[in-house]
Amino acid sequence: MRSMKFLKTIICCLLFTQINAQKQPVTKQTEPGRPKLVVGLVIDQMRWDYLQRFADRYGSGGFKRLMKDGFNCNNNFINYATTQTAAGHTSLYTGSVPAIHGVLGNSWYSRELKRNVYCTEDTSVVTVGSSSNAGKMSPVNIQTTTIGDELRLATNFRSKVISISIKDRGSILTGGHSANAAYWFDNSVGGFITSTYYMKELPQWVQQFNNKKLPDQYLQQNWNTLYPIETYQQSTGDAQPYEKIIPGEDNTFPHITAAIQKDKYNSFRHMPQGSTYTLEMAKAAIEGEQLGRGAFTDLLAVSCSSPDLVGHEFGPNSLELEDTYLRLDQDIAAFLSYLDKTIGKDQYTLFLSADHGVAENSTFLRLNKIPSPVLTNGVLEARINQVLQSEFKISNGISKIINQQVYLNHPAIQGQDEPAVLNAITKELLSIPAMANVYTLKNLPTATMPERLRELVTNSYNQKLSGDIYYAIKPHAYQGSDKGASHGLWYNYDTHLPLIFYGWGIQKGSTNRRTNITDVAATLAALLKVQMPSGCIGEVIEE
């Protein structure tokens, strides 16, 4: 009898529990607190000082808005030695350095293939959007994940990652391995393309954007100064003899781009309107992919390449460069206003940075009493081969010189005393007036050198991919033509870059402590509550 009562009690308890459980609301899966959209805005070849140099002419809605309402890292630096576009973009989004992520520069020498390898080359894919070979590209050479990859992994691939740039490397290397799409400009069609790594055909919204033929419209407008030319006080005069020219044009304002017939879309890349066009494509991507509208945070990586091309042609003290940044300021202001209206003023997080800086033109420096020796291309290889022939009877002892690295032809020097060969090359290079430092890469840990330089060179050295000797020319020395301007060294003009965070989750303020290009991905990972990229060595900017 007691057992029957006990059994009834148990049954009643189970029924009560089941009924009560059915009344409990089902907990809906929600994403951790994150912004609707993350926007990375990389300005190719933007030195830190451009934020201040042209500040009196910037409007209130572009660079000044970001500096006033965002968090400004005033002492942000590249923490490796070879300051090139591909390495910079990859380091920003991986939080890593060439020694780890494997993108040593725009190109590097492959001993296995016995040729240079381009940073995004991939012969296993084909172009989507044109019949050219410009789309045979992918992120296959990145050896780590990016912040976009980690965001996709954290949301089980429900977040979207889209990257856009006129340059293939500025787009592909920022999106990462698992990006939904990367788009870049193809001169053969005057529009954006991609590769079969991402898709089989261009989305309808990209086709519609390309059909607007905006580059043709910009070319027809010509390029004159935004303001009266006599008001440009931060630049030298127009048409300097040490400036290069826009392909198919000249180096004098106004630039009559409407008259360019041959390879006109290559000329378009060298106009400030290239940034306008890139940001218009970014807006189209937000609309076409409905970025920032879903349940999970999306990422849009945008790289404005035209400032780099203008800088290479005319130099950082040119009228063209100043005008480019005054126009870019207006473009950024318009883009921020668009994000405010489309995503919501406090619903997106944006960072602005650069991939590298640039040196002043060597002739310009010498005219202003600043030493700037020129090292002609081809001199290094000729002198090294000469000393190897005279001292060791070695012919063709050098396979390649690239990225300030000398690759020995090891089969050619087999049987020789390799330390003696390396020592002879080092001695010969140091005898060149423009040369500052020469180091054997495998001996870096014991070399007598400044610790800062040791860190930078070590972070550029990949045992499998790098050469045998690293050299650095003197500050402000120039390797190559003495026209235009270039970059690629470890000095401050190439490594000191802007870094501003703005928007959701960001406090207003600034810091003068040293930060690094690798800290961007680490900081975004902390903000988004996702894993850091696999090779990240950066630190969170906690302020």
Q: 403 — phi, psi (to 5°)?
A: 55, 40
Give the C-alpha separation, 421 to 408, whole Å.
10
Cα–Cα nearest to 291, from 148, 92, 91, 135: 148
Give the C-alpha separation, 424 to 420, whole Å.
6
CA 413 to each of CA 395, 408, 420, 472: distance values in angstroms, whole numbers, following the listed order: 9, 8, 11, 24
Cα–Cα nearest to 70, from 343, 282, 346: 346
- Kindly name the residue from 9, 27, 30, 85 that is annotated as catalytic: 85
CA 183 to each of CA 41, 105, 163, 313, 532: distance values in angstroms, whole numbers, following the listed order: 15, 20, 6, 25, 25
Q: Are 278 and 271 in contact (CB under 8 A)?
A: no
Residue 149 burial by CB count (10 A; 0-12/13-18/19+): exposed, middle or buried? buried
CA 286 to each of CA 206, 274, 296: distance values in angstroms, whole numbers, following the listed order: 11, 19, 14
Give the torsion through C-alpha atoms of 485, 490, 494, 495, to 10 deg.
170
CA 439 to each of CA 295, 319, 377, 449, 516: distance values in angstroms, whole numbers, following the listed order: 52, 39, 20, 9, 24
Q: Determine how many CB atoms are found less than 10 A away from the CB of residue 364.
A: 20
Which helix (H) or strand (E) segment holds residue 342: the answer is helix 319-342
**Six-digit token pair at 416?**
């020789």
Give the C-alpha separation, 164 to 172, whole Å.
8
Give the C-alpha separation, 323 to 345, whole Å.
29
Q: Which residues contact 109 (CB under 8 A, 6 or more apart)?
A: 115, 116, 117, 399, 400, 402, 407, 467
CA 199 to each of CA 42, 66, 417: distance values in angstroms, whole numbers, following the listed order: 25, 35, 52
Q: Is 85 a catalytic residue?
A: yes
End-to-end CA, the chain = 72
Q: Can you count the helices (H) and strands (E) in the chain?
A: 20, 19
DSSP string, 144-209: S--HHHHHHHHTTT-S-EEEEESSHHHHHHHH-TT-SEEEEEETTTTEEEEETTT-SS--HHHHHH
CA 248 to chain centre: 27
CA 363 to each of CA 240, 322, 367: distance values in angstroms, whole numbers, following the listed order: 10, 19, 6
Residues identified as active-site: 85
